Structure 1
């Protein structure tokens, strides 16, 4: 009876703790998202920073690495911006190409579904009125400007965090060593060393994978006749940083700049074949060899943390979910009391 009461209290405490933890993470997005992004990125450039520190002082090396990441991020945003402008330029052509296809869909719906002309007209009127009210509301503009200001502030703050994390990293390491007993120093140093390697190994492997995917996409989309196929291929490869969803967005971009601008079904078939073959090669050939066991997390828990990351922080949560989960798994596996949780999350241990 006492055992059952204790188990009940433990489960209740675990549920309450999990609820408030998730609620706290959701509420603290504005503070934690740029900070954790900076932590992951600083770990990625840490090896480069350590090499530069042999040639110059640490503050200068930290500043150069922060500026390097800033320039790379600006380049990626410029690529996306260029693609958006290209889409806006081709929009009249896309509307003209898609007009007969939309009419075909409407006729199919009228013939094979219970819908009638009045239903379609009402749906069109509702959508147009929603768009009109959306575009004419001053609150929408205010909200957009507020979000843009918040994004810009967090974006710039991330690189400030990176500089301080790289420049003062010894402070955080000493703090971790001091909060544990002296006889645990070697264990703590081992955990720090292993966990700090997870994010760089994962992202470096992901960058190599993105480069190979960009080449595969360029070949397939170029043969298929997609406009701006090199730029579309690069952006589609970069979008794979967002697990699962990125591939769908990349496919949608290729369809927009290929099939919708030309209206040629052959182009659509070529796009479908390109992405199908590329995803097959990525999943079964490139990923096992390029990324391999760089992040020791079972695929089931990868899906769970990606979904949870999206629920909490949106796209940035999906990107950060896997490296953070990998770091936590390493920590759990190297702490005896938490090892069962690490074994549960681990891909290697799970298969044994």
Structure 2
């Protein structure tokens, strides 16, 4: 091997590394666009069954079916915003006029009620508050500032929403648009296999996301009924938020449960702890338990077995590994990503023993 060959090999390797680095940097700079594409693809997969129903069952033209589907999606988004915008506006107005010292005193009062209920004396409470300085170190002034910054980002969110809906329309109108873009980078000999893989992935993920919406709807109904029975204000909004957290596997239900309990307790500040706050919190815990039992033993097994064709234990391990590697985002995309990988492996490595075992149900 000559020096010229070695130097050319080194230069080629450096060129490849530089190209990869530039590619990764480019993807990093356009991460918002990639997020829009990903969200639009999910919306297109959710809307796909509606379009197929309108086209095949009701014989609607493709463009009309897409327009009606987009109107339905916009109606759902508008309904969700209609729930939250008045609440945010009201709370923002209240918090803009909020007396921070009064809020701090209310939280201290709740703390005293809890410690009194646990059997601690008033002197112990006062001494522990003074020694720990827990409330002195808490800056409740961040709440109005946070809301102001949140309102400032609404403009950016509106641009993102418009972009997502615009891309979703064309994904729905031309179902082969994304496929054509992928095939541009695929060699001719693998084109048919790639098309079959994409069609299979679309079918599985479409059923998965529709099932996920059904899962959220079931929890939303259960939580709403529980909160309305208990008599919590803004029950529908709180139930929707807590049900939405279920999109994050395993961690999401815990976050949603803690949020619901905190909102229940803080909405009854000033009431008697033992006769009002504690019983309501207990009822909320019962409702949360019922919702999670139904979700764990009915909703999730139904979704995983009938949509992505994977065993619940298999899904559990994939989600845990993805969470350890990529955090919360990894947990959210673990199931769709794993499903896509399984379909591709089955199409291109069908004879492999391990692949056969993992994809026998596909």
Match of 1:67 among 44, 64, 71: 71
1:193 is matched with which residue: 199, 204, 207? 199
2:9 aligned residue:
none
2:302 matches 1:289: yes
Tell me the CA shift for residue 175 of structure 1.
Answer: 5.4
Match of 1:77 in 2: 81
State how far apart, in whole Å, the 2-side matches of 1:144 and 1:94 are: 21
Instruction: Name stretches of at least 5 consecutive residues in structure 1 with no aligned partner.
Output: 1-14
1:271 to 271, 284, 287: 284
Q: Are the structure 2 counterparts of residues 258 and 217 from structure 1 closer, same or farther at C-alpha, using a change threshold of 3 Å? A: same
Paired position in structure 2 for 1:8: none
Matched, 1:46 2:48: yes
Q: Separation in 2 of the partners of 1:330 and 1:177?
A: 16
Q: Which residue matches 1:32?
A: 34
Shift of 1:164: 1.6
Q: Deviations over 1:56-110 (max 9, x none)?
A: 4433433332332222122223323345467676999997865422235689699
Match of 2:210 in 1: 204
**Once the 2 structures are TM-superposed, how far is the Cα of residue 318 of structure 1 from its aligned partner?**
5.8
CA distance in 2, matches of 1:260, 1:197: 44
The alpha-carbon deviation at position 257 of structure 1 amounts to 4.4
* Paired residue total: 322
Instruction: Show the 5 A alignment for 1:1-352.
Output: 27-53=29-55, 55-84=59-88, 98-103=107-112, 111=124, 117=130, 119-120=132-133, 124-128=135-139, 131=142, 135=145, 147-174=153-180, 176=182, 180=186, 184-262=190-268, 263=273, 264-295=277-308, 296=310, 298-306=315-323, 319-336=332-349
**Which structure has the larger Rg over C-alpha atoms?**
2
CA–CA distance in 1 between the matches of 2:184 and 2:27?
A: 27
Instruction: Using the TM superposition, give the Cα deviation of residue 260 of structure 1 relative to its aligned residue in structure 2, in angstroms.
Output: 2.7
Say which structure, 1 or 2, has more relative contact order (CA 8 Å, 6+ apart): 1
Which whole-Å CA distance do the structure 2 matches of 1:159 and 1:115 have between them?
A: 54
Q: For 1:63, what is the secondary structure of its paired residue?
A: helix
Contact 1:243 1:306 (8 Å CA) reproduced:
no
Per the normalisation by structure 2, the TM-score is: 0.69
Residue 156 of structure 1, CA deviation:
0.8
Distance in 2 between residues matched to 1:162 and 1:131, nearest whole Å: 37
Task: Identify the range of structure 1 (87-96 vs 243-252) with the bigger mean alpha-carbon deviation.
Answer: 87-96
Stretches of structure 2 that go unaligned for 5 or more consecutive residues are 1-16
| Contact 1:80/1:235, CA 8 A, preserved across alignment | no
For the structure 1 residues 257 and 187, does the alpha-carbon distance in structure 2 shift closer, same or farther, using more than 3 Å as the test?
same
Aligned CA-pair RMSD = 4.6
Question: Scaled by the length of structure 1, what TM-score is found?
Answer: 0.70
Q: Quote how far apart the aligned CAs of 1:308 are.
A: 5.6
